């Protein structure tokens, strides 16, 4: 088995190739929009969501090497769809009328390069493309196409992903007034929901049994929430240098966070509880979930 | 048979009821986004696209009265999806970074009421909801669900609807420099594509034969283009009072139009040619396309 860093690099390349294949070329007319779409999709993402989806598919028996097995190819296409949908949310969240960010991962954001109008349209086009990609998979036995379209629309819709962004937008500068239930809702809808769908899509692509799919759902949900709580803790406790971004940024923006609402000690206990729950969920897969476990460790074993 | 004005009113009510059913209630949390979505969807649209879709379904044999016939119910749901997608394009087109319109049909636009951030998100949510509605239809024999999802994504995507808006955005103020091919592309992608899909969806919902679907495609395409050419002509020839909006607005904005590129005489000939082509296409349906023909007359028999 490849060591994790090499495995992640190899999978990132695989996902990038799939994204290049699924996106219209930069010369497709009108060129501006297709350039903008590719600019944002290839702005240095680690592709964690698609990589988790592929590992979930393998935990359910999909095999990359087996040509006759459509499970892996489906999981790869679905991973690209999720990543493309994720990219659209970043472009729109960065807009001046939203979080107003000029840089992301060190690069100028889409609207800084192409202007706000094109950035809005590039986001719209990526969201639309995500559904086009889903429409082209060959649905596995247990899960008809409607299941995939419905889940992507539900996760990306006004009750989850977009709903979380609404609360985030409305909550800025009134951090202390947000209730624990609202904070949980923001975390669930902004981080955990799409991560869970990415992982579930991998399992569904590989025709997961209902028991396997349930385990992947618990895993994804716990992983997503744990990741977010740990992020919140590190924003308070770490120096900017170690964090690679401005520490204390959440507090300065008046954003509600776990430590702000519950204190550090309780937040750490919650992170540990969620981490344990994510690991437990994988037990039904035995050794076939080795990679999923490794990736979870990589994401969660931080010094919090 | 009801006279046309009563028929259109009745169908508008039917479509509105379906839209109310498909949209989350205004009290669904977070309330702001759902209020904004409903505000824009119920801002006085005539529902021509869904109405055309229903008439196309009936031309292919769907019956409103027959409970066991899923064709009509499917056509109604698909009409709502198309109308919801159409509404999202209006919200985003009205944004300050796009066409910057404060009013639409006499009402303040979404971003004037709810702010730009919520307007971007409301548009995103409506686009996403359109696909969720499509996922819930019961696909007819000849057309699997993938056909509907793919077509909506293609029509709404970066090569058509969004592509047209890009060219429109880039073309403002340089009307004379746009080539006839580019102008045709804008018309096809911005008006004709979604109208055609609305009509095709009605036919597909009613399990249209390939020959019927081809006829509906030609009808929709010609109708959409004819409508746009006539609009362009009237913008030049009519007074603002008669038009119900500012006449000469296109010219003032430096927008490329048919009369600007080809002159009035040629534009009128083109409108007549496209109108005739739309009517011809309906011949295969005999008397069953009576309503489609009537609606086409209503849209095209203007004093141009």
Is the model more confident about A240 or about A31? A31
Q: What is the pLDDT of residue A246?
A: 58
Give how far B244 is from chain A: nearest CA, Å. Answer: 28
Q: What is the pLDDT of residue B137?
A: 97
For domain B4-300, give its CATH number from 1.10.3210.10, 3.30.1360.40, 1.20.120.1200, 1.10.600.10.
1.10.600.10
The Cα–Cα gap between B285 and B62 comes to 13
Chain B residue numbers with beta carbons less than 8 Å from the beta carbon of A92 are 120-121, 124
Instruction: Single out the residue of A231, A165, A271, A104 nearest to residue B117, CA to CA.
Output: A165
Q: Chain A 137-196, CB below 8 Å of chain B: which residues?
A: 144-146, 149-150, 152-154, 156-159, 162-163, 165-167, 169-170
Partners of B268 in beta bridges: none
List pLDDT tens digits, range A54-63: 999 999 999 9
Q: What is the pLDDT of residue B206?
A: 97
Chain B residue numbers with beta carbons less than 8 Å from the beta carbon of A134 are 149
Q: Could you say which of B28, B121, B153 has the minimum Cβ distance to residue A129?
A: B153
Residue from B166, B168, B190 whose CB has the most chain A CBs within 10 Å, to mutate: B166
Chain A residue numbers with beta carbons less than 8 Å from the beta carbon of B158 are 24, 28, 33-34, 37, 121, 125, 128-129
Task: Tell whether A26 is within 8 A of chain B (Cβ).
Answer: no
Provide φ and ψ at A104, rounded to 5°: -145, 130
Alpha-helical runs (H) found in B140-289: 145-156, 161-171, 180-187, 193-205, 210-237, 240-243, 249-252, 258-262, 264-281
List pLDDT tens digits, range A224-266: 999 999 999 998 887 655 655 555 666 666 677 889 889 999 9
Q: What is the pLDDT of residue A80?
A: 98
Alpha-helical runs (H) found in chain A: 4-22, 31-41, 48-59, 70-94, 110-114, 116-135, 145-156, 161-171, 180-187, 193-205, 210-237, 240-243, 249-252, 258-262, 264-281, 290-300
CA angle (B135 as vertex; A14, A168 as ends), nearest 5 = 70
Confidence grade of residue A178 (pLDDT, cut at 50, 70, 90): confident
Quick one: average pLDDT of A193-215? Answer: 98
Q: Could you say which of B33, B116, B146 has the minimum Cβ distance to residue A162?
A: B33
Per-10-residue mean pLDDT of chain B, 304 residues long, equals 93 98 94 97 95 98 87 97 98 96 95 98 98 97 98 97 91 67 88 96 98 98 95 81 59 76 92 95 96 93 82
List pLDDT tens digits, range A79-136: 999 999 999 999 999 999 999 999 998 999 999 999 999 999 999 999 999 999 999 9
Q: What is the pLDDT of residue A249?
A: 65
Q: Chain B 102-141, CB below 8 Å of chain A: which residues?
A: 115-118, 120-121, 123-125, 127-129, 131-132, 134-136
Give how far B125 is from chain A: nearest CA, Å. Answer: 5
Give how far B92 is from chain A: nearest CA, Å. Answer: 8
């Amino acid at each position: 088995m490849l060591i994790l860093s090499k495995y992640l690099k190899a999978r990132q390349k695989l996902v990038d190739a799939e994204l290049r294949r699924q996106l219209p070329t930069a010369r497709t007319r009108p060129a501006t929009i297709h350039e903008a779409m590719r600019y944002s999709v290839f702005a240095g993402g680690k592709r964690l969501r698609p990589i988790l989806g592929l590992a979930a598919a393998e935990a359910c028996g999909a095999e990359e090497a087996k040509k006759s097995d459509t499970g892996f190819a489906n999981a790869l296409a679905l991973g690209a769809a999720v990543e493309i949908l994720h990219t659209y949310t970043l472009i729109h969240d960065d807009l001046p009328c939203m979080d107003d960010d000029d840089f992301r991962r060190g690069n100028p954001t889409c609207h800084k390069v192409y202007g706000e109008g094109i950035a809005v349209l590039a986001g719209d086009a990526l969201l639309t493309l995500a559904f086009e990609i889903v429409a082209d998979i060959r649905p596995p036995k247990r899960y008809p196409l409607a299941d995939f379209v419905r889940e992507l629309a539900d996760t990306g819709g006004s009750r989850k992903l977009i709903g979380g962004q609404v609360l985030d937008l409305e909550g800025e500068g009134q951090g202390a007034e947000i209730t624990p239930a609202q904070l949980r809702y923001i975390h669930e809808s902004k981080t955990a929901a799409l991560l869970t769908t990415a992982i579930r899509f991998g399992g569904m692509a590989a025709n997961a049994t209902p028991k396997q799919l349930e385990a992947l759902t618990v895993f994804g949900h716990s992983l997503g929430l744990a990741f977010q709580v740990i992020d919140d803790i590190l924003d308070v406790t770490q120096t900017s240098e170690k964090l690679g971004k401005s520490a204390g940024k959440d507090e300065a923006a008046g954003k509600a966070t776990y430590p702000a609402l519950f204190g550090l000690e309780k937040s750490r206990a919650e992170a540990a509880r969620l981490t344990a729950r994510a690991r437990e969920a994988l037990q039904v897969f035995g050794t076939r979930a080795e990679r999923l476990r490794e990736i979870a460790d990589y994401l969660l074993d931080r010094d919090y």
